[in-house]
A and B are shown apart, each in its own frame.
Chain A
Amino acid sequence: MYDVLIIGGGITGAAAAFQLSKYKLNIAVLERENDVAMGATKANSAILHAGYDPKPGTLMARLNVRGVELAKGLCQRLDVPYRSCGSFVLALSEEDRAKVEELYRRGVENGVPGLQLLTGEEARSLEPNLASETVCALHAPTAAICSPWEFCLALMETAVRNGAELHLNTAVTGLSPIGGAGAEGAGGASPSPTGQGGWTVHTDRGELQARFVVNAAGVEADAIHDMAAPHDFTITPSRGEYYLLDKSEGARVGRVIFQAPSKLGKGVLVAPTVHGNLIVGPNATPVKGNDTSTTGEGLRSVGDAARRSVPSVNLRESIRNFSGVRANTDRGDFILREAAPGFIDLAGICSPGLSAAPAIGEYAVELLGKAGLTLEEKTDFICERKRIRFKELSPVEKAALVEKEPSYGRVICRCETVTQGEILAALHGPIPPCSVDGVKRRVNAGMGRCQGGFCAPRVVELLSRELGLSPGEIPQDQSGSWLLKVETKGGHRDV
């Protein structure tokens, strides 16, 4: 029996696993996809918000501010790309001015350090590409950017190195309290929440038992909740569409540029990424389930909105479009609580979920402690991670590395200068990738302007060799996303 089972391998589940792996506990994470960071974690603005946005007094406000503070140290120790760049919220009209000033007051109340109101002129002197309509701007120096999927990977890898188990390709189908009113399958009768004796977690790969269950299932968190406790919240997914622009646009702005918020949320931002690109988006469209498609109309609206704050942004330099789905709820706050005995919800983690994640992890430990989990700290907890990024080394370091390990001398991804050595290291890491995009999330191969056009065949070759699989068995991303149909030599009569 596990002490804690965490459902969901996104940033929230990873942060919880990381925090829990500091203690002498038997823990496991269940993820239905073939990798971690497969939901909103890999498709968001990659911003660590300063914390002026959430309503004062909410968990969101408190954990946002605490989360970004923790993230800074964690990204450093776990070698996650992170840049403290600060953010602006622009008022593009006199009406916006009041909203921006309101954010300033909120921020002060939430304890956000260093906030400043700038005149339009001051803002433009720091960011010359801002619209001339900018009348004032809120400057938040503690806002930062990071690589969200690498943050998630780093947290989960560290948890795994500290003894946590990760069960990929494992979908939860039901939860039933041990010693309760009998096993519950998915869609079964309303459960009787008497989980004092722990929970049986039913999955498509068999049953597991745990004393405590943590629900970090993102867009599916309401469905998981309903397996353990009476229905009392609903996730109302909201999709945001993005452009990712080439590095030639990467210096268009140096900070995260928001517009004054509207009913629809924080609005479209223009921001640098830690990888040197420019990100533009998101809009907000209600969708059913995990619908991550993009639309012509949505992308147009994102482009139009972005040009209002940064008129010179060049969308012709687009290298990729994507969308992510926010796990919004009908509540105005994160839903973090013991929902049934031994069953903890970490639900409704919409923006600023990435920013708050490390603090949500801490809070999960606190909730579990209150619920009766014994927390005894390990003395041998590993809290560091390092990976070689060939591109970032100096010529002298590059030369020394290739001499020691020649596989770092073979460049696989030419756009991002990623070497075979880095891919092999990922394949022998704590959570080896099994897909082309899994390699991309770990080492950036295929992330550049040619989008894997040149390196994907090489990556497929390395994956198939190292995993002992046929190239035809290597997916692009999630399982089912097959890349290659049949070998060319052989019969093809069935078309």
Chain B
Amino acid sequence: MYDLIVIGGGPAGLAAAQSAWEKGLKKILIVERDKELGGILNQCIHNGFGLHHFKEELTGPEYAGRFVKLLSETGVEVRLDTMVLELTPDKRVHMVGKATGYRVEEAKAIVLAMGCRERTRGAISIPGTRPAGIFTAGAAQRYVNMEGWLPGKRVVILGSGDIGLIMARRMTLEGAKVLACVEVMPYSGGLNRNIVQCLQDFDIPLYLSHTVTDIRGRDRVEQVVVSKVDKNRAPIPGTEMVFDCDTLLLSVGLIPENELTRQAGIGMDRRTNGAVVYENMETSIPGVFACGNVCHVHDLVDFVTAESQRAGEAAARYVLEGEAGQEGCLEVKNGDGVTYTVPQRIRPEQVESFCDLFFRVNRVCRNSEILVISGETLIARFQREHLAPGEMERVTLPRVLLDKAQGEITVSVREVEA
């Protein structure tokens, strides 16, 4: 019997295992489906990782490497090339691997760190023919950075998520011509620094409020038709632009991979597509924790690390000290302008001194107030000059303020006159 099984050996799983070890757990197993640890970081060969956590700029593989090195100095066990097929509510993990065969392992605690997958053409129903040459940005990134193949030479990118922006630059550097980046919303879904460094620096036009309305070509993409959209995101006839290209990359959103979570009967949040979690990243099954992109999609790996450390520490506390009490549990509600919050539940008794609350807004806001209200009582108010859906927000709630709340708290955004 393991103290802890961590499902997934990407940045979330690595940090959770590391922290659980530091907090005193001895028998820890990481199960990773790929042939090496590091997850998606291994194909993110660009820099920009680690500014918050390590206070220096690293590439993805370097960032992962730091954690892999730290772990190698612990007694944490790693099983690579091994896929978890099932997690039962009583924390038995069914897994299969070429080297170890089919195994069922038991653990006192579980950390879910399976990450996320990309939305595809089918998920957004782009009409047209069905030729080769339509890739999710992450799949193209794998071909270019890991397999050593450039998937095409004339590229249109739909969606301005960060991976799409990174790939605009990467494909350009590899000799492809990126004709346009097309975003259906009136604002970019990616980080501002990526808009500047990956599009503007390479003179790649960004078409906001546009989308792909047709794909042409029998065998391979030959043309992509881009149309302007109205405020309801419906294409406006007569605004079509035709791009001659051989590749369409999609960067149209990420979906947490929660098949195991659902199977285990863990409570889910429809807004995050991840598990509903408490302040310590614990799910509705005591002793099962979720962190990183499997819980909600992050912008920066540094934040994944911080969240996963909390999950790992909490898993250790669960194993060493037992189940947390449920007294005074607060439901966190989404008020005006807020699309989701993590955590969705806070047990003030479990909060030592303060609790971080992460959320996203549903529109671009200037000079705003973030209001945290419980019933009629204003618990806290925060000022922000700029809020955008592409950038995750965080407010820190001290325990003393949480103690003032009753039953639920609501987070909302209100724009104020400059």
Residues of the A chain whose Cβ atoms lie less than 8 Å from the Cβ of B100:
409
- Establish whether residues A477 and B148, one from each chain, have CB atoms under 8 Å apart when the complex forms: no
Distance A406 CA – B83 CA, assembled complex (angstroms): 13
Residues of the B chain whose Cβ atoms lie less than 8 Å from the Cβ of A244:
122
Contact with A along B193-217 (1 / 0, CB 8 A): 0000000000000000000010100
Contact with A along B65-97 (1 / 0, CB 8 A): 000000000000000010101000000001011
Nearest opposing residue in chain B for A406, CB measure: B98
Chain B stretch 174-232: residues in CB contact (< 8 A) with chain A: 174-177, 213, 215, 218-220
Tell which of B97, B146, B246 touches A409, judged by Cβ atoms closer than 8 Å. B97
List the one stretch of A50-58, A260-268, A397-405 in contact with chain B.
A397-405
- Establish whether residues B96 and A398, one from each chain, have CB atoms under 8 Å apart when the complex forms: yes
- Establish whether residues B125 and A318, one from each chain, have CB atoms under 8 Å apart when the complex forms: yes
Asked if A169 is at the interface (CB within 8 A of a chain B CB), the reply is no
Asked if A179 is at the interface (CB within 8 A of a chain B CB), the reply is no
Distance A487 CA – B144 CA, assembled complex (angstroms): 8
- Establish whether residues A488 and B148, one from each chain, have CB atoms under 8 Å apart when the complex forms: yes
Distance A320 CA – B134 CA, assembled complex (angstroms): 13
Residues of the A chain whose Cβ atoms lie less than 8 Å from the Cβ of B218:
480
- Establish whether residues B150 and A321, one from each chain, have CB atoms under 8 Å apart when the complex forms: no
Nearest opposing residue in chain B for A409, CB measure: B98
Give min CB distance, B147 to chain A, whole Å.
6
Chain B stretch 117-140: residues in CB contact (< 8 A) with chain A: 117-118, 120-125, 127-133, 136, 138-139
Distance A295 CA – B214 CA, assembled complex (angstroms): 8
Residues of the B chain whose Cβ atoms lie less than 8 Å from the Cβ of A318:
122-125
Residues of the B chain whose Cβ atoms lie less than 8 Å from the Cβ of A410:
81, 97-98
Tell which of B102, B121, B150, B259 touches A485, judged by Cβ atoms closer than 8 Å. B150
Distance A321 CA – B127 CA, assembled complex (angstroms): 8
Total inter-chain residue pairs, C-beta < 8 Å: 152
Q: A450-B120, A481-B132, A493-B175 are in contact. Are A486 and B150 (CB under 8 A)?
A: yes
Give min CB distance, A392 to chain B, whole Å.
12
Asked if B52 is at the interface (CB within 8 A of a chain A CB), the reply is no
- Establish whether residues A456 and B98, one from each chain, have CB atoms under 8 Å apart when the complex forms: no
Give min CB distance, B293 to chain A, whole Å.
14
Contact with B along A476-495 (1 / 0, CB 8 A): 11111111111111001101
Contact with A along B266-285 (1 / 0, CB 8 A): 00000000000000000000
Asked if B51 is at the interface (CB within 8 A of a chain A CB), the reply is no
Distance A399 CA – B127 CA, assembled complex (angstroms): 43
Give min CB distance, A29 to chain B, whole Å.
23
Distance A450 CA – B257 CA, assembled complex (angstroms): 10
Distance A406 CA – B102 CA, assembled complex (angstroms): 10
- Establish whether residues B143 and A395, one from each chain, have CB atoms under 8 Å apart when the complex forms: no
Nearest opposing residue in chain B for A291, CB measure: B129
Give min CB distance, A35 to chain B, whole Å.
14
Residues of the B chain whose Cβ atoms lie less than 8 Å from the Cβ of A406:
98-99, 101
Distance A479 CA – B174 CA, assembled complex (angstroms): 26
- Establish whether residues B85 and A417, one from each chain, have CB atoms under 8 Å apart when the complex forms: yes
Distance A451 CA – B154 CA, assembled complex (angstroms): 23
Distance A296 CA – B150 CA, assembled complex (angstroms): 30
Distance A457 CA – B140 CA, assembled complex (angstroms): 10
Asked if B38 is at the interface (CB within 8 A of a chain A CB), the reply is no
Distance A154 CA – B111 CA, assembled complex (angstroms): 43
Asked if A197 is at the interface (CB within 8 A of a chain B CB), the reply is no
Tell which of A461, A472, A495 touches B175, judged by Cβ atoms closer than 8 Å. A495
A contacts with B: majority SS: mixed
Contact with A along B137-171 (1 / 0, CB 8 A): 01100111011111111100000000000000000
- Establish whether residues A486 and B149, one from each chain, have CB atoms under 8 Å apart when the complex forms: yes
Asked if B104 is at the interface (CB within 8 A of a chain A CB), the reply is yes
Distance A263 CA – B281 CA, assembled complex (angstroms): 57
- Establish whether residues B138 and A453, one from each chain, have CB atoms under 8 Å apart when the complex forms: yes
Distance A398 CA – B94 CA, assembled complex (angstroms): 11
Distance A454 CA – B34 CA, assembled complex (angstroms): 11
Nearest opposing residue in chain A for B170, CB measure: A488
Nearest opposing residue in chain A for B138, CB measure: A453
- Establish whether residues A457 and B81, one from each chain, have CB atoms under 8 Å apart when the complex forms: no
Distance A323 CA – B88 CA, assembled complex (angstroms): 39
Give min CB distance, A373 to chain B, whole Å.
37
Tell which of A292, A407, A475, A488 touches B98, judged by Cβ atoms closer than 8 Å. A407
Residues of the A chain whose Cβ atoms lie less than 8 Å from the Cβ of B177:
495
Distance A488 CA – B122 CA, assembled complex (angstroms): 28
Contact with B along A457-483 (1 / 0, CB 8 A): 100110000000001100111111111
Asked if B235 is at the interface (CB within 8 A of a chain A CB), the reply is yes
- Establish whether residues A411 and B219, one from each chain, have CB atoms under 8 Å apart when the complex forms: no
- Establish whether residues A296 and B127, one from each chain, have CB atoms under 8 Å apart when the complex forms: yes
Nearest opposing residue in chain B for A449, CB measure: B117
Contact with B along A374-405 (1 / 0, CB 8 A): 00000000000000000000010011001100
Distance A461 CA – B139 CA, assembled complex (angstroms): 14
Residues of the B chain whose Cβ atoms lie less than 8 Å from the Cβ of A484:
143, 147, 149-151
Asked if A308 is at the interface (CB within 8 A of a chain B CB), the reply is no
Asked if A243 is at the interface (CB within 8 A of a chain B CB), the reply is yes
Contact with B along A292-311 (1 / 0, CB 8 A): 11111011000000000000
The 6 closest A-B pairs by CB, nearest first: A492-B175, A476-B132, A480-B219, A320-B122, A399-B102, A481-B132
Could you list some 29 contacts between A and B, CB below 8 A? A243-B125, A244-B122, A293-B127, A293-B128, A293-B129, A294-B125, A294-B130, A318-B123, A318-B124, A320-B121, A321-B122, A395-B94, A410-B98, A411-B83, A414-B33, A452-B139, A453-B136, A454-B117, A454-B139, A457-B143, A457-B147, A478-B219, A481-B219, A481-B220, A482-B220, A483-B151, A488-B144, A488-B174, A492-B176
Give the interface of B toward A (CB within 8 A): 33, 81, 83, 85, 94, 96-102, 104, 117-118, 120-125, 127-133, 136, 138-139, 142-144, 146-154, 174-177, 213, 215, 218-220, 235, 246, 259
Could you list 15 further interchain pairs (A-B, Cβ under 8 angstroms) beyond the known A409-B98, A414-B83, A492-B174? A244-B122, A292-B130, A293-B127, A296-B127, A315-B125, A319-B120, A395-B102, A403-B101, A450-B117, A453-B117, A453-B136, A457-B142, A476-B132, A484-B150, A485-B152
